[in-house]
Amino acid sequence: MLAATKREARTRVLPLVEIRIRPLWQGCAVIRKHFLTYLALSTVGVSQPLLDLYGKNATVFSTAKLSPFEVALFLLVVALGPAFGAIALDRATKFLGPKVNESMRLLLIGGFSFLAGLAIARWAHLSGDVPTLALASVVALLVPYFFDKKKWAREWSRWLAVLSVAVLGSAVLQLQPILLQQQGPKSDAVIGNKDVSVLQIVLDEFALAPLLDTDGNINAQRFPGFAELAATSTWYRNNVSASNFTHQAVPAILSSRSPSKTAAPFLSAYPKNIFTLFGGKTTVSGVEPVTSLCPIRVCPKKGESRWSFNPSRLKSFFRDASYVYGQRVFPPALRKRIPSVDGAWGGFGAVANKFKEQYTHGALSQPDALLQTVHKMVNSAAPQVSVVHALMPHAPWRLTPDLRVAPLSPTISTTNPDSEDGISDEYQTYLYQVAAVDATIQEALTELKSSGRWDKTMIVLTADHGISFIPTMPQRHTDFLEDQQVADIYRIPTFIKYPNQNSPIVSDCASTNLDLLPTIIDVTRTKTEWKFEGSSLASGCPNRTKRVVVSATGQTKDLQGSFADALARASHYSEIVSNVGAINKVAAIGSSASLIGAVLPDVKTDQQVVSWKVAQKKWFLNVSDKRGSAVPSLITGSIQMNGELPAGTEGIVAIDGVAAGVVGELSNARDVAAFTAVLDYSLLTRGKHIVELYVHRADGSLTRVGQPQ
């Protein structure tokens, strides 16, 4: 009786449950179908252009230092986030009625279709705003129309969602070195000389030519730190870099292996390197702002693991990704309003912008990275192997020789300007930052010498690559057709201070940066079965007939020539900015160079130059002399004129009546001229300063404009 009652109860309840579940299930089916449509369209319009680019440029993840968890989260958000956002909006408008809901659905489909049309236009290499926007508009109209009217269109829009699996899967495969962190091979090294500490310094974007004086020596008056290092080390002045881009050049240095076009700067691509060789055998530390060659077991980072999550870091990365997406998909008119993504590590200007931010909010982070490493070395009881890749004197060239921070020059780019004025502005700011590096090196040497560890320390200092300042040409990219550009990019400063070395040696060995790790292995008397491409420099010059260098594009060149090529480039650049005099004389350029540093006379007011404006006008009201403080050693603005000024006319910026910098943009200028001027930073002492403009014509006449408006 009781059993029959229960059966009757179940019979009555089941239809009610079925009635309630059926519409819910049907509703879920509708959501799934719409979600697949959104997923298909957002894959074509959003995730594929972005993930394809990021998958092929994994260096950007290494530079951003995202954890594997954060990288995975980024991939999922890019691949699925737009579709989930669309379906959420779709469902929300259901409560506003079927007409509103249907309109929103078609609007979402149209929006994704428009983005897909933009992506297709870029893929098809359509140029110009009108063709791009026309194609995107047609796609945005046709797709919603056919979706609304044709069943086959709705079915195909859902089946195309399988593209998301392919796109996400491809990105995951390409980013395996990041997602699956490796620990590297087990080292077989046996260190014979454990009393020696090794400090390897890899500077960035540092050509040899700017360091040289007119005789081909290290310019001691301008760069006393490097001169001090050269006085107690072996200067390999014929050394060359392995590649013209950081993500190839630094791994080549640390692993003594020629970089390939496809190899990303990760441990999986360069498993046998200085970190894995000495890791576990002695204390090892590494500063790698761009590469990721040191495994966590060797270079543990406090508070970091594969599951680390930093909301601020990830937020910044997504913001940079939005810039990348805009430059990847948007038409020319819109791309102009988005930060550039040309050049930089991995091909993303988003990384370059990140670096600029780093200099805005922490300009001394790179010098401090080196100094902190040195401080840890001298305070360590045991010898160690320390590697520091410091992003200096890499752009944006804001540091002054006394380690203050100048405004960002608006002319900085990865391609040089076409004017002599633009080149001189860039080269001046570059030299100031080289001097900041010099001051950092000098401070590091002072601490090492005072520690009592100097004789037992091996210092290996080099650069990943150089930089070229030839008008209209790329600063680092080369096809090896222009020999002067090649010399600028591949001929770099290289010094090795061997243990117990206290006198200078100049070597013209045909060496490369691939020789540095074998030299370290030789000096530390380390025994290993691991094979490296370079040869030790400790016992003499390698027996080689050619040096093959590579470009990030995969091109190669047997680099002939000698130190004479670098000396010729130094002579060329001395004509742009003289290499005679102290570092503050970098401000002295053009026909007005001899006036810089002189007190200007009381002269009449100029009749042609009406007024001028300086963007940094307020900076002069309260200048600080503290390390890391802002200083207007570079100024930008505009100059208003009546008519055209004669050829050869220059402006002279005076600080408290003393000529401090030259404005070269006034030659043949008329109406309004924009300008950039680099000033003698030593005149910008603590306190308030008066800045004025003078006009110096080719006939030698000098007139006064006065203070900026």
The pLDDT value given to residue 222 = 97
Q: Would you place residue 260 in the very low, low, confident or very high pLDDT band (cuts 50, 70, 90)?
A: confident
| Cβ neighbours around 20 below 10 Å, total | 10
**CA–CA distance, 623 with 246 (Å, rounded to integer):** 36
| pLDDT average, residue stretch 59-67 | 82
- List the one residue out of 480, 520, 477, 472 whose CA is nearest residue 496: 520
The pLDDT value given to residue 23 = 46
From residue 148, alpha-carbon distances to 27, 31, 106, 135, 141 in Å are 19, 16, 8, 20, 11
Q: Where in the chain is the domain with CATH 2.60.40?
A: 588-706
The radius of gyration of the chain's CA atoms, rounded to the nearest angstrom, is 31
Q: Which has the higher per-residue pLDDT, 347 or 74?
A: 74
As beta bridge partners, residue 652 has: 662, 694
Q: What is the mean pLDDT of the chain?
A: 89
**CA–CA distance, 412 with 541 (Å, rounded to integer):** 39
Express each pLDDT in 513-572 by its tens digit: 999 999 999 999 999 999 999 999 998 999 898 999 999 888 999 999 999 999 999 999
Per the CB < 8 A criterion, the answer to whether 489 and 244 are in contact is: yes
Of the listed ranges 312-326, 455-469, 600-614, 690-704, the one predicted with least confidence: 312-326
Q: Which has the higher per-residue pLDDT, 25 or 570?
A: 570
- List the one residue out of 240, 246, 256 whose CA is nearest residue 477: 246
Express each pLDDT in 633-691 by its tens digit: 999 999 999 989 999 999 999 999 999 999 999 999 999 999 999 999 999 999 999 99
pLDDT at 2 exceeding the cut of 60: no
| pLDDT average, residue stretch 601-607 | 95
| Cβ neighbours around 138 below 10 Å, total | 13
pLDDT at 352 exceeding the cut of 50: no
pLDDT at 465 exceeding the cut of 80: yes
- List the one residue out of 388, 443, 439 whose CA is nearest residue 204: 388
The pLDDT value given to residue 18 = 46
Q: Where in the chain is the domain with CATH 3.40.720.10?
A: 191-297+346-574
What is the rounded end-to-end Cα distance, in angstroms, of the chain?
Answer: 102
Q: Would you place residue 20 in the very low, low, confident or very high pLDDT band (cuts 50, 70, 90)?
A: very low
The pLDDT value given to residue 350 = 37
The pLDDT value given to residue 310 = 86
As beta bridge partners, residue 351 has: none
> Among the ranges 305-309, 336-340, 371-375, which has the highest mean pLDDT value?
371-375
pLDDT at 355 exceeding the cut of 80: no
Per the CB < 8 A criterion, the answer to whether 240 and 513 are in contact is: yes
E strands, 62-189, where?
A: none
| HSE value, Cβ hemisphere, 13 Å, CA-based, for 142 | 8
Express each pLDDT in 207-247 by its tens digit: 999 999 999 999 999 999 999 999 999 999 999 999 999 99
- List the one residue out of 568, 572, 570 whose CA is nearest residue 420: 572
| HSE value, Cβ hemisphere, 13 Å, CA-based, for 495 | 25
pLDDT at 345 exceeding the cut of 50: no
The pLDDT value given to residue 356 = 44
Q: What is the largest CA-CA distance in the chain?
A: 122
| HSE value, Cβ hemisphere, 13 Å, CA-based, for 448 | 27
Burial class for 442, CB neighbours closer than 10 Å (0-12, 13-18, 19+): middle
CATH architecture label of 191-297+346-574: 3-Layer(aba) Sandwich (3.40)
DSSP letter string, 614-664:
ETTGGGGGSB--STT-B--SEEEEEEEEEEEPPTT-EEEEEETTEEEEEEG
The pLDDT value given to residue 362 = 62
| pLDDT average, residue stretch 69-80 | 93
**CA–CA distance, 442 with 405 (Å, rounded to integer):** 19
- Look up tokens 């072996």; give the residue: 234
**CA–CA distance, 71 with 59 (Å, rounded to integer):** 12
Per the CB < 8 A criterion, the answer to whether 675 and 665 are in contact is: yes
Query: Which residues, 6+ apart, have CB-to-CB distance to 53 below 8 Å?
Result: 324, 328
CATH of domain 588-706: 2.60.40
As beta bridge partners, residue 638 has: 613, 674
From residue 195, alpha-carbon distances to 42, 150, 187, 371 in Å are 59, 79, 20, 22
**CA–CA distance, 523 with 705 (Å, rounded to integer):** 62
Express each pLDDT in 79-110 by its tens digit: 999 999 999 999 899 888 888 988 998 999 99
Burial class for 321, CB neighbours closer than 10 Å (0-12, 13-18, 19+): buried
The pLDDT value given to residue 351 = 40
pLDDT at 497 exceeding the cut of 80: yes
